[in-house]
Amino acid sequence: MYQINFQNPVHIYFIGIGGISMSGLAEILLEKGFPVSGSDSKESSLTQLLCQKGANVHYGQRSENITKDIDLIVYTSAIHPDNPEYLAAESLGIPLLTRAELLGQLMKNYELPIAISGTHGKTTTTSMISQILLAADTDPTLSIGGILKTIGGNIRIGHSGYFVTEACEYTNSFLSFFPKIGIILNVEEDHLDFFKDINDIRRSFHQFAALIPHDGVLIINGDIPELSAITKGLSCRILTYGESSDCTYRPGNISYRENGCADFTLLKDGQKEDAFSLNTPGEHNVYNALAAIALSDVLAIGRDVVRKALFAFHGTDRRFEYKGQINGTTIIDDYAHHPTEITATLKAAANFPHKTLWCVFQPHTYTRTKAFLKEFAKALTHADQIILADIYPARETDDLGISSQTLQKEIQSLGKTCYYFPDFQQIEAFILDKCLPNDLLITMGAGDVVTIGEDLLKE
């Protein structure tokens, strides 16, 4: 594997430079004096920012973009070997690294690399932790999988030994990392286009946890089924949080304010210690906050700082994000694209003031929709009214004989009314006709469903 000498900057080219993670890595390298170029399918605010900072960005991926002056190519799991730029790099003998391999090498430059993993909640928990570290004046470098308003983007370049990043399990990318502290929020079935089954996923998370050195710390949700499959044989210190009585960190007296956000008491080793108030809705965020509190204790950050930072945190883009109101209907957008995430978001919405809860759901990938068809149907029944958009295929080309109409039939078999429309314009017209004052509308999914609410608010 090509090893980067961060004291000797070389020209690095990113295939897919406009991605949320790739753009952040490109920005870090620009700050360190590396010549950076890359390509993406279209211009965006992230590519515009990179250009302002000195990157050279091509729109459209073509073989002629790859020139002999490039020393290294970085690519994501979405790039296949038949990609024209990938093929051109191979023909010119230019070394290639995955995004995860680059991120892993970058982590080695920091004294305290912190990696947040889990099937769900990575971006929100990473953002909570970022808010705390900033409030504690630790001057961290942050790489977040979403836009955090506190830093005005997804990346912050600090000058201390703290480095915080999300750690995604897809294609085992997080096994290229070098964390000193690791967090595992949850372990569930997902990405079944890559993993064989839940046991395969558990093995992957166990391998991730085993990367933590003996003087490091694993913070893990103690309620994960078959927890020992992940923690067995680890040499590092292990801290647990969750609902179970044997977890080190637990919540007590959870209650909800009128905005759907929780207040709770922190129990550590069974003893009441502090009271916390969140400004991110839902019970799932109580547990995300517990992981952040446990990390803060490891880093010896005072509880006063932690309490104020968590209260000041209002979430990241596309995580129960308030978009506005139209004709008295409140519009929220959420990134949920897994049954567990959908259930958590819709349960959070139940504590938010509303008359009728509408959910416009855009399934993400054919493989996920097929694998969790019944689970998706059950999760969506937590909404009063359900509208389905077509499946967002992302990287996939084979529809596997599955469609949103398949999911619609499954939902209807549960006795729930469910509407399907083949395009966003029809969905928007239906919403304008049916939604009433004091209704709550959530656009949901990891694709481009967010544009429905944004288009409505422009009218």
What digits encode the pLDDT tens for the residues 366-382?
A: 999 999 999 999 999 99
pLDDT at 356 over 90: yes
Out of 27, 101, 166, 410, pick the active-site residue: 166
Give the pLDDT score at 437: 95
Return the pLDDT at 258: 84
The alpha carbons of the chain give a radius of gyration, in whole angstroms, of 22
User: In this structure, are strands 329-334 and 321-326 parallel, antiparallel, or unpaired?
Assistant: antiparallel
* pLDDT on residue 154: 86
| Beta-bridge partner residues of 155 | 143
Mean pLDDT, to the nearest integer, of 245-260?
93
Q: Are 363 and 396 in contact (CB under 8 A)?
A: no
Cβ 202 vs Cβ 118: under 8 Å: no
Looking at residue 259, its pLDDT comes to 83
The answer to whether 325 and 331 have CB atoms below 8 angstroms apart is yes
Given a cut of 90, whether residue 396 has pLDDT beyond it is no
Q: What is the largest CA-CA distance in the chain?
A: 64
Task: Give pLDDT tens digits for 334-355.
Answer: 999 999 999 999 998 988 889 9
Distance of alpha carbon 182 from alpha carbon 295, whole angstroms: 9
356: left (phi over 0), alpha (psi -120 to 50) or beta: beta
34 pLDDT higher than 90? yes
Q: What mean pLDDT is predicted for residues 78-105?
A: 94
What residues contact residue 360 under an 8 Å CB cut-off, 6+ apart? 387, 388, 389, 427, 431, 441, 442, 443, 444, 449, 452
- Considering the candidates 122, 180, 323, 370, report the single residue annotated as catalytic: 122
Query: How far apart are alpha carbons 222 and 243 in whole angstroms?
Result: 8
Higher-pLDDT residue of 411 and 148 is 411
Q: How far is CA 155 from CA 28, 117, 120, 173, 184, in A?
A: 8, 18, 20, 19, 22
User: Is 31 noted as a catalytic residue in this protein?
Assistant: no
Mean pLDDT of 302-327: 92
The yes-or-no verdict on residue 76 having pLDDT over 90 is no
The tens digit of pLDDT for each residue in 179-228 reads 999 999 999 999 888 899 999 999 999 999 999 999 999 999 999 999 99
243 catalytic residue (yes or no): no
Res. 408 pLDDT band, cuts 50 70 90 = very high
pLDDT at res. 315 = 83
Q: Residue 153's pLDDT is what?
A: 84
Percent of the chain at pLDDT exceeding 70: 100
Paired sense of beta strands 72-75 and 12-15, if any: parallel
Least confident of 232-241, 339-348, 383-392: 339-348
315-328 tens-digit pLDDT? 887 888 999 999 99
The answer, yes or no, to whether residue 287 has pLDDT greater than 90, is yes
| Strand bridging mode 56-59 / 72-75 | unpaired
CA 219 to each of CA 10, 109, 150, 450: distance values in angstroms, whole numbers, following the listed order: 36, 22, 25, 33
Residues 102-123 pLDDT 10s: 999 999 999 999 999 999 999 9
Query: Quick one: pLDDT band at residue 359, thresholds 50, 70, 90?
Result: very high
The catalytically annotated residue of 47, 76, 119, 123 is: 123
Confidence of residue 88 (pLDDT cuts 50, 70, 90): very high
Q: What is the per-residue pLDDT for 353?
A: 85
Has 273 been annotated as catalytic? no
Task: Specify the pLDDT at position 459.
Answer: 73
**Hey, how many other C-beta atoms are within 10 angstroms of the C-beta on 326?**
17
Chain mean pLDDT for the chain: 94
pLDDT, mean of residues 278-302: 96
Neighbours of 53 (CB within 10 A): 12
- pLDDT, residue 78, reads 80
Answer whether residue 384 shows pLDDT above 80: yes
pLDDT value at residue 98:
94
Which pLDDT score, from 0 to 100, does residue 192 have? 86
